[in-house]
Structure 1
Amino acid sequence: MRNLTLRIQAYPGDLNPIGTVFGGWIMSMMDKAASIAVDDLIDSPAVTVGVTDLRFIKPVRSGDIVTIYTTIQKIGNTSISVYVEVVVECHKLHCDARCEMSVTDATFTFVAISKEGEPLSVRSVLRTNLDQDILELLK
């Protein structure tokens, strides 16, 4: 299920020399959102171990309201894959009506770890109050 996980506004300090938001800033926000989604699932620390299929579709500009949606794609033995989509509200310069446009997406993979930094079985640290769609991924 697609969940609104993070909203933030882009400011002038987030811009590169050509006036659009740095890709690294977007990736950082995406990683934060994905980590929030993982934290909602497990009662353990988790670390990002990979990012795949990263696409910068459209630029983000100063003042844009950036909304980040997450979807849990897969729960493995020690890892969780999270699809992350970044959208911004269209400004009057970009479209006639208020709408959202996708600007970036990627899949982030996290590994659950112990306090000592060793991988843990995700099933051993799952929270007890999970949604039905998440429980379906465990089958």
Structure 2
Amino acid sequence: MTDIDDVPSPQGQLTLKLVANRHDTNLHGDISGGWLVSHMDQAAELAASRMASGRTATVSIESMDFLSPVRVGSMVNIFTEVRETGRSSMKIDVEVWCRLPQESEKHELQKVTEARFVMVALDDKGRIRSVKQ
């Protein structure tokens, strides 16, 4: 019997939820990695903007490994968690978990990828500013 603590689960807050469509595929019919990274960046920006109370920008994306392909029709769930906050920067962990289109809500989500995004707070002129804490 599996202990509930042994079952992996998403970390952080559900920030984006969307459906992977046919027009988002690569040459082989799987969802494009670039499409997924773009939505992860949006989720990181949403989390950073809330923390910074304003405009932010992506500085870097740390290591990313794709664990499994995303199929057309999958429900894509993107979770974020602010891990560190500096004077002007924020490190945000972003995880992507999916459920295949033919699976019901009772099925567990499957982890697809994760990465750490480094974001910086910007003022209205696009200059780096302090994160409001």
Same fold (TM over 0.5): yes
- 2:47 counterpart residue number: 37
Aligned length: 121
Equivalent residue in structure 1 for 2:116, among 93, 107, 110:
107
Distance 1:92 1:36 in 2: 30
TM-score, L = length of structure 1:
0.81
Equivalent residue in structure 2 for 1:8, among 6, 18, 22:
18
Q: Percent identity?
A: 33
Structure 2 runs not aligned, ≥5 long: 1-10
Distance 1:7 1:98 in 2: 16
Alpha-carbon contact 2:75-2:101 (below 8 Å) kept: no
TM-score, L = length of structure 2:
0.85
**Match for 2:48: what amino acid?**
V
Distance 2:111 2:126 in 1: 35
Is structure 2 residue 125 aligned with structure 1 residue 116? yes
Q: Kindly report which structure 2 residues correspond to 1:39-58, keeping only aligned pairs within 5 A, or say none.
A: 39-58=49-68
- 2:80 counterpart residue number: 70
Tell me which stretches of 4 or more aligned residues in structure 1 moved more than 6 Å. none
Distance 2:23 2:101 in 1: 20
Does the C-alpha gap of structure 1 residues 120 and 18 become closer, same or farther in structure 2, counting only changes over 3 Å?
A: same
Structure 1 runs not aligned, ≥5 long: 127-139
Alpha-carbon contact 2:71-2:100 (below 8 Å) kept: no
- 1:79 counterpart residue number: 89
Cα offset for 1:89? 1.3
CA RMSD of aligned residues (A): 1.6
Distance 2:82 2:123 in 1: 21
Cα offset for 1:13? 0.3
- Secondary structure at the counterpart of residue 41 of structure 1: helix
- Secondary structure at the counterpart of residue 48 of structure 1: strand
Alpha-carbon contact 2:20-2:75 (below 8 Å) kept: yes
Distance 1:41 1:79 in 2: 10
- Secondary structure at the counterpart of residue 64 of structure 2: strand
Cα offset for 1:44? 2.2
